[in-house]
Amino acid sequence: MTDTNKNTSKKLWGGRFAGTTAASVEAFTASIQYDSRLFKYDIRGSIAHATMLAGQSILSSEELDAIVAGLTEIGKEIEAGTFDFKPELEDIHMNIEKALLDRIGPAGAKLHSARSRNDQVAVDFKMYLRDQCSQIIELLDGINIAFVVLARKYLGHIMPGYTHMQRAQPVQLAHHMLAYYEMFKRDKSRMIDCRKRMNLSPLGIGALAGTGLPVDREQVAKALDFDGVTANSMDTAGDRDFAIEFTSNCAMIQLHLSRLSEELVLWSGQEFSFVNISDKFCTGSSMMPQKKNPDIPELIRGKSGRVVGSLMSLLTLMKGLPLTYNRDLQEDKEPVFDAADTVSSSLSIMAELLDNLTFNTENMIKATQTGFMTATDLADYLVLKNVPFREAHGIVGRLVAYCLEKGCELEDLTVDELIQFSEAIDRDVFEVLSVEGSVNSRISTGGTGLLKVKEAVDEAEKQLGIV
């Protein structure tokens, strides 16, 4: 690195500094190694800013043409991988600006009029996250399509529902799949809200107090597809709520993916044998030849720590910052970039895994035959016979204890045995003691009854546009 290059950033910023920056400081403060991914947003924002400056007679039409041509050329070179990034220029913004100055001369020096790197980086970051929101929304639709397709395919098949990781009540497999559909539908809603809330342009607030030059912030906002402009320059200069909200949404998505992954890991083991994960998404053991390991769900489960960690990094970063901009904010991008990348890749591969997933429905229905899973139905039956619920609860509890002593299930008992515990019981009791009868009796909205689940699948297909 030459002395000239080492001092380039200070020459760009004016005459306050007499000496060159220490090489160690340049290395420590550089962010170009990760914020270069913002290049297309920086170029687009700069073109919109320059167009506005020309409209306000701060730039001539010739200067505007030179700036647009220069920025367009730089963008093509970065896209092609031929652009020479200089770490001593710290970030993507100064790398592009210096390249523009070298190419078009004095006209390039006018581009930064009425603009600070504070509002420049904020607009780049917002445009990037706006696109990330849209991409993740699309991926959420993709994984929800996979859930609804599985729900339709396995409609009518029954499995155990669990509480405390113990068999609780029989449910439809389709109902279980739709539970995840609801989770990721909420995630989509949050990401849509996040995108809408962040879509206000920060350009034009300068470093923190606005600018005395005759700028038109609304024109720039419109050119960059923002819904409007931010209202307070000081708030805008130090605001990273939009990044925290985005990363919080990513953490929630990854949490849901982790819960799903945990069930897939459990269900694919011999102790459950509820699902077959395609060989394409599993690996073997380097030592044990019989092993088929569910690596993809395990990795997704593990990566949840990265995304939650990214959120914690941002919250910790912001918790003690006074208004307005502080250099600490340079540390906001790496955790956000990593969260976005991790969630996108996890959603994509999980949707692909679900497309190739098959359920062992015989094992699932077999698992409902033990564990007194229709006990609650028997209590409800007694309630309909005018027995107070708490009394009914006790009656069924004693019946379960009796079955445990006898080594049988509730449906194995005779009517005479059942009547010993309550005279309210009659021969029609066996209609509620069957697994099928239990499932189909759940007719409340949101319940697991066949009719309700079919309606829910129909509605989900309608929402997703599945024909």
Asked if residue 10 has pLDDT above 60, the reply is no
Give the whole-number percent of the chain exceeding pLDDT 70: 96
pLDDT tens per residue across span 52-75: 999 999 999 999 999 999 999 999
Asked if residue 11 has pLDDT above 60, the reply is no
pLDDT tens per residue across span 153-165: 999 999 999 999 9
Pick the catalytic residue from 285, 344, 393, 434: 285
Residue 46 catalytic?
no
Q: Which residue has the higher pLDDT, 432 or 336?
A: 336
Residue 211, pLDDT score: 96
**CATH level 2 (architecture), domain 118-366:** Up-down Bundle (1.20)
Fold agreement (22-113, 375-433): no
Q: What is the mean pLDDT of the chain?
A: 93
pLDDT tens per residue across span 383-421: 999 999 999 999 999 999 999 999 998 889 999 999 999
Residue 393 catalytic?
no
Q: Determine the topology of domain 22-113 in CATH.
A: Fumarase C; Chain B, domain 1 (1.10.275)
What is the pLDDT averaged over residues 132-143?
A: 98
Pick the catalytic residue from 24, 57, 164, 286: 164
Q: Which residue has the higher pLDDT, 438 or 335?
A: 335
pLDDT tens per residue across span 219-238: 999 999 999 999 999 999 99
pLDDT tens per residue across span 167-199: 989 999 999 999 999 999 999 999 999 999 999
Residue 21's pLDDT band, with cuts at 50, 70 and 90, is: confident
Q: Which residue has the higher pLDDT, 14 or 216?
A: 216
Q: Please measure the distance between the N-terminal and C-terminal CA atoms of the chain and give it in whole angstroms.
A: 61
Asked if residue 1 has pLDDT above 50, the reply is no
pLDDT tens per residue across span 354-393: 999 999 999 999 999 888 888 988 999 999 999 999 999 9
CATH number for 375-433 (one of 2.30.30.90, 2.20.25.650, 1.10.287.70, 1.10.40.30): it is: 1.10.40.30
Q: Which sequence spans correspond to the domains of the chain?
A: 22-113, 118-366, 375-433
